[in-house]
Structure 1
Amino acid sequence: MVPKKHKSKRLSLKQQHKIRKRSVEKHRKDRRDAKRNPQKKKLKKDPGIPSLLPFKDKVLQQVEEHREQIKLEKQRQKDARSQLHDTNRNLTPAPSSMAELASDAQRRSAAYEDAQQDSDSDAQEIAEGTVTGARDNSKRAYYREFQKVVQHADVILEVLDARDPLGTRAPQIERMILDAGSNKRIILVLNKIDLVPRNVVEKWLAYLRHEFPTLAFKASTQEQRRNLGHAVAGSKKATSLNTAECVGAESLIQLLKNYSRNQKIKTSISVGIIGFPNVGKSSLINSLKRSRVCGVGSTPGFTKFVQEIQLDSKLKLLDCPGIVFNSPAKGANKVDKVAAAEMMLRNCIKVELLDDPIAPVDIIVQRCNPVALHAMYNVSAFTNTREFLVQLARQRGMLKRQGIADLTGAARIVLNDWNKGKIPYYTLPPGMSQTTASGKTAAGDAAVAHGAGRAVVVNNWAKEFDIDALLGDMDTKVLADASSDNKPNRRAIVMEGHVVAQNADIAMDASSDEDLEDSSSEDDAMEEDESDSERAS
């Protein structure tokens, strides 16, 4: 019998190339994993106790005793859990009669209602404190952080939104600081002036400066992390507030340094920055520091703890979480409910947390020009808020069962657009549309009447900050360079009606029906007279 030949180990070229390709690919993946996680090591198997180890029997006995101790501890914990379960079960005996069963059900129902009320109050506290799902996010925790800033700060910067200065102002906090008799100084910073016409900014500055020193400011919107720019007065780039660079930072820093120099403070002064959520507190700090040292975001409650930033050897900034300083209680009257709905329009609470998003949309529809909403959302004419939301829901395909329009979902869309700035708006100072015979605006007269009690305070602070010389130069730098490029946005909406502010004695007058004329007539009017340019299309 012929013996079989030994099987050859020769491979075809196809197989050889396949093996080589897989080997190269494996080595490549190993090198990649080594770069991603260089500390990764394979677990080495326990070799056990060597046979030649001295006193091996004693070591084995110790290991066995340790295992027995672990086993006994587990059994002890198991028995304790079982005993606790039996004890709790014996504490609640089964009802022996229907009366006991009914009383037990009533007791459990009352306990459930109490728990629901507690959860509702917690949710209300979360909404009031602009909390968004992180640890210790209660209003009390945020207020503690706010108190730290007020206590340690020498100068308080209250940041206001230029679109709604009185709505984002906290007069009760101002009164608390002044009534305490401390030497703390309050400065109002009118942020986001690029979203408001120049003449409206000037009127707001004149109105607010009768009570406290007020500066116009625009935070930097540049995207790099370092070397954030400051617009230079007189340069070509600073001819419009539409620039991404910061405007007004130099004047604010100079104002703070004047206070430090006039008070002969040898060490650095602490500057606390307070305000409502999303008014630009962290953005202001980043603009002053020229670097992204504070996280920013459009979500209410983004800043959760006090942050200390050393600006230079003389200035130290304290960033504070945004606080909603007032909140209507449950069972409030109609005026309080309107105030609560207006609070929702200031992006102080996440839209997802709102129980009734239709109420703030109702305010938008009532006070806005319907023509602007028609063009913005491409809907036909409507007579009330419900018709507007029904058309918007059907247009976006937001339908429930049986074709019912989802009004709540449509309202959330409008509120998100409002918070993101897709619906441009601004408010006017009280009495801005009226002028006196002497040439002063009624807004200035209203400010004098309202802030008469603080006139002495402002006059005393003027010497400490060198306000008279600085504010005139600041207005020249910040506002004079904003030429005709900063005209009113023709899509911007001037809020109509009576805008309720934080307290009853502060309120903003609305634009009249004359402010909502056709766009063509407004164009001619703005070219003819400066007073007509103050009106929004």
Structure 2
Amino acid sequence: MKRPKLKKASKRITCSKRYKIQKKVREHNRKLKKEAGKKGVGKRAKKDPGVPNIAPFKDEVLREAGERKLKIEEEKEKNRLEKIEQRAKRKLEKDVSTSETEKPKAKRARLDKVHKDERELAKKSAHNRYTKQFLCSEINKIIDTADVILEVLDARDPLGYRCPQLEEAVLTSPGNKKLVLVLTKIDLVPQENVDSWIRRLEQEFPVVAFKASTQIVDKTVQEKKKRLPDAVLDKSRAALSSGNLCLLGLLESFLATSKEESILKVGVLGFPNVGKSSLVNTMKGIRACPAGVKRGITKTTQDVFILKNLKLYDSPGLVASPSNPPASLALRSLRVEDGEDNMLEAVKTLLKQCDKVQVMLQYNVPDFRNSLEFLALFAKKRGYLAKGGVVNMERSATAFLDDWTGAKLSYHSRVENLSLPPYLSDAVVTENKSGWNLNKLKTGNAATLRGVKFPNKASSISVISKGPTAGLLNATDLPNPAPLPQDKDVEKEVEEPEQVEETKELQKTDEELQKTSDKELQKTSDKNKGNKVQFKLGPVDISLSTVKTDDAYDFNTDFK
């Protein structure tokens, strides 16, 4: 207890408490000594008595003991020398690394460039594995192996995502293979447009309406969520899926009616970014295949068991033919993915296929004159600005293309009543539909459409469809790169109406600039009449041959 007027409390205690502490300490020490005696720790080491004189073969025993002792000492010395060598080696490596860092900057830059080139070469060699020939071979393997082919179509442009070469190869291949059309991303299209497309495509093949879930996670993540007591069920629009039960029931009914009782092999084919991997993940219930907004994630074939007797094959995207219209290639960003086209050109082509007012309302941007101005406004709206407030055009174009190829932007194409292609006759259509429970499929599609929230037609962009997209299934069909024309006048492009108007405006501005330049030349000549030395200015070349008529910023027309 601390007494008043004292800095520290007193250490005095009662005698009973002090004796009790001493007793506890003695008992504790006695316990420790007893445990040490049991283990033999506290016992004194016994002295070696040596070899007695009366022992037989005393000299031999002593000699063996001495040899054993020398051997132990030699091993210790050897280990010591090895440690010294290793220490010296590490020190030498450290000195070499420090000397490299102390080299001149130019030499270090050259070494860094060499290492960078080696890394790029290794990356390029790994990328060359997934060439167009390799992708074509993977798709042909699936066509040969699978019993049923699911051609996945984007509901926003189903006709444009159809591949006639794929359909003909499936229907003409041996084995009586079946073809089913799957309309994905139906939640991005107005309901009337989806109903019309289903009725239109049902005339040729069985059609399944499908909406995949984009929030599928790995199996380990699902198990962790199950352990949580207060786990909340995700009911967001991206997490919900529709049509998976209908598709699973359709495949099970076909398996039940088929004569063979083996495993039903189903191949999932389609163009890139149409939703093939998302369909497989939704059917499986876990993230079995990699999927994302980036185009061309799936490079090889992957088989996933949905049931014991049902297996799906996830495949890479179909290779599009370069002979397709530029609008079809730009809508799927196929030329951008192959590196054959610039992102800005793809954006320009896409904007020409849409109504400007609908694009302005969809992205909430003011009126724009060309694609570059639209990308600038779009970048400011999204905040894609670099240091100093400079617009990042590349990031803006990438985000715009991702909206069109990913499951985000709502657009739709008009339903067209076309005649059957040559490879589809009435007998082929009837044979392909045999074995399917079409009544069950119709009720399943109706239930799927009732469970999906569709966008309003006024908020969806109307796009002109360019028809089916031609694909390549054989490596021999791949075109060779055409040589570049040496003469500029060999191939002349046809001018569009917009380009004609731009050239007229440029001609007017050229005439005005020519007049102003003539006036300035006259003034300078009047001023320099009295001087001894006079300079004669040559004519200014402002002809249309030096002016570019694309949608980029033009100095003559925009600067006043």
SS of 1:490's equivalent in the other structure is helix
> Do residues 361 (structure 1) and 347 (structure 2) align?
yes
Question: Shift of the alpha carbon at 1:405?
Answer: 7.4
Question: Shift of the alpha carbon at 1:215?
Answer: 1.0
* Corresponding position of 1:312: 307
Equivalent residues in 2 for 1:384-395, closer than 5 Å: 384-389=370-375, 391-392=377-378
Q: Is the 8 A contact 1:210 1:455 kept in 2?
A: no
* Corresponding position of 1:435: none
Distance 1:459 1:53, change over 3 A: farther
Q: Is the 8 A contact 1:424 1:492 kept in 2?
A: yes
Equivalent residues in 2 for 1:401-420, closer than 5 Å: 410-420=396-406
* Corresponding position of 1:214: 207
Question: What is the number of residues matched between the two proteins?
Answer: 359
Q: Is the 8 A contact 1:213 1:458 kept in 2?
A: no
SS of 2:434's equivalent in the other structure is helix
Q: 2:160 aligns with which of 164, 167, 178?
A: 167
Distance 1:399 1:355, change over 3 A: farther
| TM-score, length-scaled by structure 1 | 0.56
> Do residues 502 (structure 1) and 469 (structure 2) align?
yes
State the one-letter code of the partner of 1:279. V
Deviates more, 1:419-428 or 1:407-416: 407-416
Question: Shift of the alpha carbon at 1:270?
Answer: 0.8
Q: 2:435 aligns with which of 464, 469, 472?
A: 464
Equivalent residues in 2 for 1:251-262, closer than 5 Å: 251-262=246-257
| Alpha-carbon distance in 1 for matches of 2:466, 2:387 | 38
| Alpha-carbon distance in 1 for matches of 2:383, 2:206 | 50
SS of 2:195's equivalent in the other structure is helix
* Corresponding position of 1:75: none
Cα deviation digits, residues 405-462 of structure 1 (max 9, x gap): 77656433432343345542121221xxxxxxxxxxxx3xx3x544793322221233
Q: CA RMSD of the aligned region, Å?
A: 4.4
| Alpha-carbon distance in 2 for matches of 1:490, 1:197 | 9
| Alpha-carbon distance in 1 for matches of 2:394, 2:69 | 76
SS of 1:501's equivalent in the other structure is coil
SS of 1:257's equivalent in the other structure is helix
Question: Which of the two has higher C-alpha Rg?
Answer: 2
Question: Shift of the alpha carbon at 1:377?
Answer: 4.6
Equivalent residues in 2 for 1:67-466, closer than 5 Å: 136-225=129-218, 242=237, 244-320=239-315, 322-328=316-322, 336=324, 338-339=325-326, 341-348=327-334, 353=339, 355-389=341-375, 391-392=377-378, 410-430=396-416, 443=417, 446=418, 449-450=420-421, 453-466=424-437
The gaps in structure 2 that reach 5 residues or longer are 1-65, 80-119, 224-234, 472-560
| Alpha-carbon distance in 1 for matches of 2:72, 2:151 | 75
| Alpha-carbon distance in 2 for matches of 1:144, 1:201 | 33
| Alpha-carbon distance in 1 for matches of 2:269, 2:406 | 22
| TM-score, length-scaled by structure 2 | 0.54
Percent identical across equivalent pairs? 32
Question: Shift of the alpha carbon at 1:285?
Answer: 1.5
SS of 1:203's equivalent in the other structure is helix
Distance 1:408 1:429, change over 3 A: same
Question: Shift of the alpha carbon at 1:156?
Answer: 0.8
Distance 1:145 1:351, change over 3 A: closer
Question: Shift of the alpha carbon at 1:204?
Answer: 1.0
| Alpha-carbon distance in 2 for matches of 1:325, 1:134 | 16
Q: Is the 8 A contact 2:336 2:343 kept in 1?
A: no
Q: Is the 8 A contact 2:305 2:312 kept in 1?
A: yes
Cα deviation digits, residues 313-358 of structure 1 (max 9, x gap): 32111111x2233231xxxxxx75x43x532322546669464112
| Alpha-carbon distance in 2 for matches of 1:286, 1:397 | 33
Q: 1:474 aligns with which of 444, 447, 453?
A: 444
| Alpha-carbon distance in 2 for matches of 1:377, 1:474 | 35
